[in-house]
Structure 1
Amino acid sequence: MADHPRSKGLASAVCYKDAKAAFRWLEAAFGFEPAFVLLDDQGNLAHSEMEYGNSSIMVGNEWSDDHRSPANLGGKNTQTVHVQLGRGEDIDAHCAKARAAGADVIAEPSTQFYGDRTYRAKDPEGHIWTFGVTVEEKTADDWDAAGGFTTRTRLDD
């Protein structure tokens, strides 16, 4: 609801050339749930928020030279948004639904060395989204051995 207080957390804001179309598409393709929309006096989308689990995403129009859609930047992204599905959710079905809605799947679902099954997709304006679901719980020692990494909490030596 629009008048709910925000709790401590992190949200991403994504800019589109056509934020109304993107808002509808994100609901249909990825299953994001509308939280609220703020319309100006001409019916244009001034701000909106969608939820997925305990997270939110802000969806809006381009509003400055620094806030642009990849569609106006030659398809370039400066970030990707990762969405974690709930334990037991079918990521292959999620991918198929996104593809059917027009997502460009750029990395098919596959199981990663750290125990998540993931896929990557571009939305109609070129934003890259990564989706994952844990299919096998692994320890840091497990994924370090499988991937040749060293896991630490901090960068300190």
Structure 2
Amino acid sequence: MSGTSITPSACYRDPAAAAAWLCAAFGFEIVVQIDAPDGAPANCHYEIGRDQARIAIGGRWADWTAVPDGTVTGWLSVHLPDELGADGLDAHCAHARAAGAVIDAEPADEFFGARRYRAVDPGGHRWSFQVQVREVSRAEAEEHLGIEIARWE
């Protein structure tokens, strides 16, 4: 591998089932599969991906990998190819819903030019999927937010 990359990770009670579900519901594919020889979820590792993006899926191998009070402080944000367009994102959402995802925000056009929806998987992880449907200038974004944007790249 050359250059820097970041691979977010999510822990599940049954990572093999989670990886399979995520692929079926959200259109990922398994790119790394290490099944635990002893069958213990904590000893396996999967990476699922789409295009150049990857997410590691594992078992709960330490106390800190499970949020004790059920509060999730983050989510996984996936930028799908813009070529899908608004209709493609809506179809992605419908497919995820049919596979059992809980849709907690229906597809909607956002001020920053994306169309986005949010879903919750059976393990309680939150996902955001979006495509860019129009370009937004820095000036437009600042006007909408009512503040100056310190950095815009």
Q: TM-score, normalised by structure 1?
A: 0.87
Percent identity, aligned pairs only? 37
Aligned AA (2:111): F
Q: Equivalent residue for 1:108? A: 106
Structure 1 stretches lacking a partner, 5+ long: none
Q: Equivalent residue for 2:27? A: 31
Give the RMSD, CA atoms, in angstroms.
1.7
Q: Equivalent residue for 1:16? A: 12
Aligned AA (2:107): P
Q: Equivalent residue for 1:120? A: 118
CA deviations over 1:99-125 (Å, ceiling 9, x no partner) = 000000000000000100001000001
Q: Equivalent residue for 2:130? A: 132
**Which of 74, 83, 87 is the matching residue for 1:88?**
83
Instruction: Report the structure, 1 or 2, having the larger helix content.
Output: 2
Shift of 1:41: 1.7
Shift of 1:78: 2.0
Distance in 2 (CA, whole Å) between partners of 1:36 and 1:11 is: 13
Shift of 1:43: 4.0
Structure 2 stretches lacking a partner, 5+ long: none
Distance in 2 (CA, whole Å) between partners of 1:82 and 1:153 is: 20
Q: Does the Cα contact within 8 Å between 1:113 and 1:147 map onto a contact in 2? A: no
Shift of 1:54: 1.2
Q: What is the count of residue pairs matched by the alignment?
A: 147
Distance in 2 (CA, whole Å) between partners of 1:21 and 1:50 is: 12
Q: TM-score, normalised by structure 2?
A: 0.89
Report runs of 4+ in structure 1 exceeding 3 Å deviation: none
**Which of 53, 58, 61 is the matching residue for 1:60?**
58
Cα distance, 1:149–1:118 mapped onto 2, change above 3 Å: farther
Shift of 1:24: 0.4
Distance in 2 (CA, whole Å) between partners of 1:22 and 1:16 is: 7
